[in-house]
Amino acid sequence: EGETPARYLTIWQPPILHYKNYINQPAIVRMASFITSQHELANLADPNSTRVPYSTYSISASLAKAVHGWDPDWISEDWHMALKCFLATAGRLNVTPIFLPVLNYSPEGESMVQTLAARWTQAKRHALGFSELVYFHDHLPRILRSVQDRRARIRFLWRTFFLWFKLMMIHL
């Protein structure tokens, strides 16, 4: 009683709004911040969306321990942790929204050019998240073989397809 169902299979994700330095951002960075924030809100509000944690999220210590914690060698630790948890739970992981926004800064420099360069550096780092697909493809066959129940295997494949598609669409 009083427990959240499936809390050990859940990552909680608030919307991340890059508005702390919104006024200081050049117009193009401001527009990117606005679009990113709106995308995050829409994704969290859609009950049918496939969600991937982004930047600031919460996870139970039990789930983190079950997947041996965070791997320091991965730049996109949020996606990597989500994929580790998804695979370790045979696709039963849920990313559940928390509708209490986290305000964040966008990269900022001393001048407009430095701000644009900082945002470009951040975008290149985000693009490295594509390497998560290699990790996903590498571990997928092993996890698929370990799922013995036919219904669980079908559910895993169904959820895997939508997660794979989401990761691909973000990077295309």
Q: What pTM was computed for the model?
A: 0.87
Q: Phi and psi (nearest 5°) for 86?
A: -60, -45
How far are the Cα atoms of 67, 85, 149, 153 from residue 90, in angstroms, in the given order?
A: 12, 8, 11, 8
Question: What is the per-residue pLDDT across 128-166, written as a single tens digit (0 to 9) for each?
Answer: 778 888 999 999 999 999 999 999 999 999 999 999 999
At 2 the pLDDT is 66
Provide the mean pLDDT of the chain: 91
pLDDT bracket for residue 1 (50, 70, 90):
low
At 76 the pLDDT is 84
CA 101 remoteness from chain centre: 15
At 34 the pLDDT is 92
Q: Phi and psi (nearest 5°) for 58?
A: -120, 145
Mean pLDDT, rounded, for 73-102: 92
List residues bridging with 96 in a β-sheet.
12
Is residue 3's pLDDT more than 90? no
Question: What is the per-residue pLDDT across 10-63, written as a single tens digit (0 to 9) for each?
Answer: 999 999 999 999 899 999 999 989 998 998 899 899 999 999 998 899 999 999
At 157 the pLDDT is 96
Is residue 85's pLDDT more than 90? yes
Mean pLDDT, rounded, for 59-87: 92
Residue 143 in tokens: 């996890």
At 101 the pLDDT is 92
